[in-house]
Amino acid sequence: MDALDRTDWSALGAAELEGVVALRRAIHADPELGLDCGRTADKIKAALAGLPLELREGPSTSGIVAILRGAGDNGRCVLLRGDMDALPLDEETGLAFASKNAGMMHACGHDAHSAMLVGAARALAARRDTLPGTIAFMFQPGEEGHHGARYMIEDGLLDGIVAGRRPDAAFALHIWPTLERGIVAGRAGALLASADTLKAVIRGKGGHAAMPHDALDPIPVACEIVMALQAHIARTVPVGDPAILSITKIDAGTTHNIIPDCVELLGTVRALSETRRAAVHAAFARIVEHVAAAHGLIGEARIEEGYPVTVNDPRATALVRRCAETLGGERAWTELPLQTMGAEDFAFVLREIPGAMAFLGVAPEGSEPDARRPLHNTGMVLDEATMARGVALHCLFAESFLAKGFG
């Protein structure tokens, strides 16, 4: 039996739970947005104080990479990631430790992600003498649309950790408040979609609403463009390589009797392959420009690239499954039949390093499925006891990979 088999990570995760809950509540009560989560980073660094860790920080974000070097060195390095930032929401949970910052709430579980990763760092540091390689703990701000992972990579925080290279594998857990507590869910290949922002301006000629023939009205043309985009997705995108395109905002006009000069469109496009992503980008520009031109107007299309597709390495996914079943038996793993059209900037890490993200069920014990609030909901709550399982999973991911690689 090797060190992996001898270690009871469930018990060690449970031993860290009290501190993990306390840290999660402190972060939850004081949420921060975007790339600058300095107070959250300070709480994390305080919780890591005294551990044999090397801390790296960069100029672009408040992110931290904490490096634990095992007593042995077989050349392997594994990265574990937790995010730090909150969402721009007003909390409605009624919790005693609810957000004290107006318009900010940890409604996506990043408070739990950071706290569980700190618990794992503490548990693994206590077993440093048995570790045969290196572990990098990545505490990342700016996941909610701010590209925090990309900035940390560009700042070089993952470079040269061992033998002049980046980590060999990367793992992340994301809590899921509508999934039964303790269940780990995932799949190999595409797990989450790419996410890009669509913007368009339809330029016409304004005028009196009673005399539309003297104007070039951009509003009906904009409406036609929206419908043409929906028809394109419905009639040209195959179900086996899907995409979703939603126009979520139309901005035009000032009052009831004036035809405006222009209309602005805002929306999002999601895809599960880079090939489909590029094809929909091209179609968006083509439809905006050509439909407008057909009516004598000018259509300007712009795409702001967001997150790439989150792609799980099959070997890493198999390792996650083995770890989940080691801790909770065969029923502790659920194979997702379909991808999720949400997006994650852990995709930037997985684009550089083979690895996997999985979902951890944290539905409150005894809760009815219909009563569970989803992610990004102002009433979202989670089962804090399940964070012990999250700590144990992180530890097992790391120890398993260091001991055996993806084998």
Query: Going by DSSP bridges, is the β-strand pair 298-307/77-83 parallel, antiparallel, or unpaired?
Result: unpaired
The active-site residue out of 154, 274, 300, 384 is 384
The active-site residue out of 307, 335, 368, 399 is 307
Active site residue 384: yes
Q: What is the 3-state secondary structure (H, E, C) of the chain?
A: CCHHHHCCHHHHHHHHHHHHHHHHHHHHHCCCCCCCCHHHHHHHHHHHCCCCEEEEECCCCCCEEEEEECCCCCCCEEEEEEECCCECCCCCCCCCCCCCCCCCECCCCHHHHHHHHHHHHHHHHHCHHHCCCEEEEEEECCCCCCCHHHHHHHCCCCCCCECCECCCEEEEEEEECCCCCCCEEECCEEEECEEEEEEEEEECECEECCCHHHCECHHHHHHHHHHHHHHHHHHHCCCCCCEEEEEEEEEECCCCCEECCEEEEEEEEEECCHHHHHHHHHHHHHHHHHHHHHCCCEEEEEEEEEECCEEECHHHHHHHHHHHHHHHCHHHEEECCCCECCCCCHHHHHHHCCEEEEEEECCCCCCCHHHCCCCCCCCCCCCHHHHHHHHHHHHHHHHHHHHHCCC
Q: How many CA atoms lie within 13 A of 340 on its CB side?
A: 18
Contact predicate 174/359, CB 8 Å: yes
Angstrom CA distances, 290 to 126, 215, 286, 287, 303, stand at 63, 19, 6, 5, 17
Among residues 226, 222, 225, 233, the alpha carbon closest in space to that of 247 is found at 226
Active site residue 151: no
At 230, the amino acid letter reads Q
* Rounded Cα gap, residues 164 and 353, in angstroms: 15
Mind telling me the catalytic residues? Answer: 307, 384
